[in-house]
Structure 1
Amino acid sequence: MPLTTVIVVTWRGRDHVADCLDALAAQDRPHRTIVVDNASDDGTADVLAAHPSRPEVLRLSRNTGYAGGIAAALSAVDTEYVAWLNDDAAPRPGWLAALEDAMGQGVAAVASRLEYPDGTVQSTGVRLTADGHGADSTAEGAPFGFCGGAALLRTEALRAAGGVPAGFFCYYEDTDTAWRLRLAGWDIRLAPDAVARHRHGASTRPGSVAFHRWNERNRLLMLLRCAPAAVAARELGRFTALTLSLPVRRRVPDAANFRVRLRLRVLAEVTLRLPATLAQRRAVGARCTVDRGVVWRRWACR
């Protein structure tokens, strides 16, 4: 029996998902593969049906994003571990073995070494900044969290920590999950020999309006769910104050996340979700074995 189920989430991945599946087929550890097709309309379904590895395909009726895709497949996972893998990531031989071997007692997640196509390092995990952003780390030490583009998680620990925040759609679902695992007392490691080449942004457009909307909204939702109350309130207040000040500023950065309309939409979405988010915060707190402040002081701006 395999130890791991690999979940690959794709949306309009016709031009790159086969490379991902080829790389999975070359792994030397047995595994189960589930591909979640987020209602692709570009011929992705034909590529999946023709692939010689014959992956299990869960085709959704609408695009639920990366977070929604992982969440949709999680209920079908019956293995000890579950791997998250972007459809534009191609793991090198030995990737899964390195991840499984790095799992030990008290460990709930193992981060991969993600590289750009030219071989430079994109991520060895996720770090927390002083203002509560999740940012890619390139250090070799233990990370705060894992990059969801290629990582291995302990299935029952993930479920016990509340699963995957499907409503995030995409971005910050990995940092939020790592935060909840740490609050529940679990450790997270890096497997430096678990390498995957990543065509970053093949399915999304980093820097676009949608990208910044998801990033800004989900960071605030994550802080409201996981961070110490003072940190969450401070960052929500800072975001609001900056938004209100932008119309009277002389110089404003030329980036989508400084557009007033986008920021007002973020605030509206966070406000509408606030009752549910605060209920989720209470649920996270009920599962905590480590104080929120301890995790924040240990990892923020490290």
Structure 2
Amino acid sequence: MDRKLKDKIWTSILYLISCAVVLLLVALVLYILNNGKHFLDFDFIFGKPKYGEEGGGVGPQLFNSFYMLIITLAISVPIGIGAGVYLSQYSKEGPFVRILRLSIETIASLPSIVVGLFGFLIFVNLSGWGFTLLGGALALTLLNLPALARVSENAITEAALDVKESSMALGGTKWQTIWKMIIPTAFPGILTGIIITAGRIFGEAAALLYTSGMSSNNKGLLNVMRPAETLAVHIFKLNSEGTVPDAASIASGAAALLVVMVFIFNMSARLLGRRMMKHR
């Protein structure tokens, strides 16, 4: 068998595997949307919570999910990008950097339930806050910061290869080069990390069970020190407690709504990133 034939065979196999993965993903999404198509009902989202006849009223949980996303990104994005800048442009190989990288890898491998228990110990008990939206956001920051730092480091390192020497040769300082040249060039890669992080924040439940709680106390919507049940936690509660007659139907609608919201957010973030790149 000659090399060209082998190449065609393995290329075909890889295409088939890729198509199978895509079809499986599409089938899963369509199944979720079909089972939860009643989420399109206005009352399912914004109506009062009710039980029976596919009751919903998941608006508070949807708001909490978006609010949790905003607070978590506001904390984790500056720290993650800063860590990426330090590791790629300022750090020198030594014991401290090796320990730092080991710590990042270790935290990245932790199950979300472990991070949730750690958050329960620190942000709920020792702090005296109780179950709060801020505690949940801090737990999610710990969970997602390693991935965001690694993506930022790789994107900044790759961008620096193209523009760093040119900027320094024209008289720019190191900080000017990083702030005005490297980070804008690396922005598409950083945005990808932010989108991945945001998707995990939307869908995370285990870490929030022990930190933000399972109640929707929306007195003072913007108060970060209140309990905040997100949509993912609400789905878990419906499927675990068994006290709601149509729990499965509500959970299906909430799951479909969650999938649609994640898709809309991802598309909006990419469109915004492209527009920012055109006008920078």
Which category describes the TM-score, using the shorter chain as reference length?
Answer: under 0.3
Structure with bigger gyration radius: 2
Q: Bigger relative contact order, structure 1 or 2, given CA contacts below 8 A and separation 6+? A: 2
Structure in which a larger fraction of residues adopt helix: 2
> What's the TM-score once normalised by structure 2's chain length?
0.26
